[in-house]
Amino acid sequence: LVAAAAFVVGCVVVLMMKTLLVIFATLLVSGVYSDGYDCSGGACYVTTHASSVAIDKNTVVWTRPEQIKEWHFHVYFFQDDNVSVTAALSIKDALLEQVQAHAFVAIFDGVTEQEFPEINISRIPPVEMEPQGPHPCGNYEVWVPMEYIGAVTSWFMLNRGELTILHHPLSGSVLDDHVGRAMWLGPPYRLNLANLPVSSPHAAIAGGEYSNLQLGYSAPKGTDFNVCGDPSTWSPYAPCKWQQSP
């Protein structure tokens, strides 16, 4: 009888513990996803799978341009891994060789006034050796206009090695640019959305991130640089001119 009673008591205790754990987990989850969840930036609206809170277009800048004309590539690397860092910097050096050979136009840490006298080199973001903004690891940014997006995307596909590259547009909606409109070359990483602003548009769409190049959003209206027409309408960096010069 004593053994039977002990067995019954043990079962009751186990059942009570399981019930308490379920209640605790329920309260924890409801607390995290309630209206009182203390979030910031893009993390208030987007989780890794879907929107956790309905996006209010009165507070979140949400634009839809007729055509996306400029992009960023972010080459990711593990900043504490010498092999990964070396691979990323080697890709950057090879990318610079392509720019110097006039294969395409791309702006990133490493280009100088020798390649692009018109731009302010100090505005180019440096290689980040630690997580910065939404990016969870070391990275560097590569700006590319629509006139060369195909050539640069193809080059990265063939030369990225084992590195992951975030490829996102500059469409004016900073949050959606990094989430709904982004693409990945290689395995995707989870971004720190809390560091993404939601109330201000990306300045690039207003007139081009590097407007002095007259490419992307800053290209003259009605100009098709893929058709070799009147040379007087070309930017010096348009494919019809840039790729023909030494």
Verify that 29 and 77 share a domain, yes or no: no
Matching residue, tokens 């691979």: 87
In terms of residue numbers, what domain contains 138? 70-242
pLDDT band at 225 (very low <50, low <70, confident <90, very high): low
Average pLDDT of the chain is 81
pLDDT band at 10 (very low <50, low <70, confident <90, very high): low
Q: Return the pLDDT at 33.
A: 41
Element (H, E) at 26: helix 2-32
pLDDT above 80 for 229 = no
pTM surpassing 0.85? no
What DSSP assignment string belongs to 82-115? HHHHHHHHHHHHHHHHHHHTTS---EEBTB-TTT
Share of the chain above pLDDT 90, in %: 48
Verify that 7 and 82 share a domain, yes or no: no
Verify that 15 and 136 share a domain, yes or no: no
Verify that 203 and 163 share a domain, yes or no: yes
pLDDT in tens, 91-147: 999 999 999 999 999 999 999 999 999 999 999 999 999 999 999 999 999 999 999
The two tokens of residue 58 are: 């009165």
Domain total in the chain: 2
Q: Return the pLDDT at 187.
A: 96
Summarize the chain as % helix, strand, coil (round to 5). 40, 15, 50
Verify that 30 and 118 share a domain, yes or no: no
Q: What is the DSSP-derived secondary structure letter of residue 235?
A: -
Verify that 105 and 225 share a domain, yes or no: yes
pLDDT in tens, 170-207: 988 888 889 888 999 999 999 998 888 876 666 666 77
